[in-house]
Amino acid sequence: MKLKTIIAMCALALLATACAGATEAGAPPSEGIAVHGDWIIETFNPDGSLDQRVEFSNDLSPAGPDLLASLLSRQLSMGTWTVLVSSFAHPENLCEPLQTCRIVEADDWDADNAHSADLELSRDGDVLVLEGSFEAIETSSISNVATRVRPCQPAVAPGDCNEPSLGPNGTSSKVLTGTTITPVDVTAGQTVAVRVEISFTSG
């Protein structure tokens, strides 16, 4: 009798294990679309030598999903990109008198007032790449970064979205990605080079 009880218990254990395995095997795969933002920040001394290189990832901003949905549904027209590098955690402003340094595309409507207008947009396979640089005005540190898009009303073609005289056709800039990072020290006169890779994956 004792042997039968042991056999029965083993059979139940095996059955439970098999059922659990079947449930896991038959479970539908998880679905979703993820937005990845990978950054590389390099600081260069005035003589061109590399001072430091920092790599990190960022997050989709709270406004990011709405921006993507508006662009994909043609409720907004795609405009120019801006990369924002800020020194919020340091008493000295990196791009004096402002805490935030703006790197914009050369044809941006406000390029003359940006800290740098050498931002280049390219594609590497299925990855969107933003690259630009600026010169630090004050000795400070980088603590916050973001990417921003200035969209337009749907009647405006993307190629015309950078005009400063759009009036009601232009809309305010919207942050797509951003994050707070461990402060990166920067010395006045150094060149800060930024590379941002934005990609999408399903899983």
User: What pLDDT score was predicted for residue 203?
Assistant: 59
Across the chain, mean pLDDT equals: 83
**pLDDT single digits (tens) 52-69:** 999 999 989 999 999 999
User: What pLDDT score was predicted for residue 34?
Assistant: 83
**Mean pLDDT (whole number) for 123-139:** 96
Is pLDDT of 109 > 70?
Answer: yes
What pLDDT band is residue 29 in, cutting at 50, 70 and 90?
low
Is pLDDT of 194 > 70?
Answer: yes
**Mean pLDDT (whole number) for 118-139:** 96
As a three-state string, the secondary structure of 95-110 is ECCECEEEEEECCCCC
What pLDDT band is residue 15 in, cutting at 50, 70 and 90?
very low
Is pLDDT of 10 > 80?
Answer: no
Q: Cis peptide leading into 97, omega within 30 of 0? A: yes
User: What pLDDT score was predicted for residue 202?
Assistant: 78
For a pLDDT cut of 90, what percent of the chain falls above it?
59
Instruction: Characterize 131-164 residue by residue with b for buried, 16 or more Cβ atoms within 10 angstroms of its Cβ, and e for exposed.
Output: bbbbbbbbebbbbbbbbbbbbbeeebeeeebbee
Is pLDDT of 24 > 60?
Answer: no
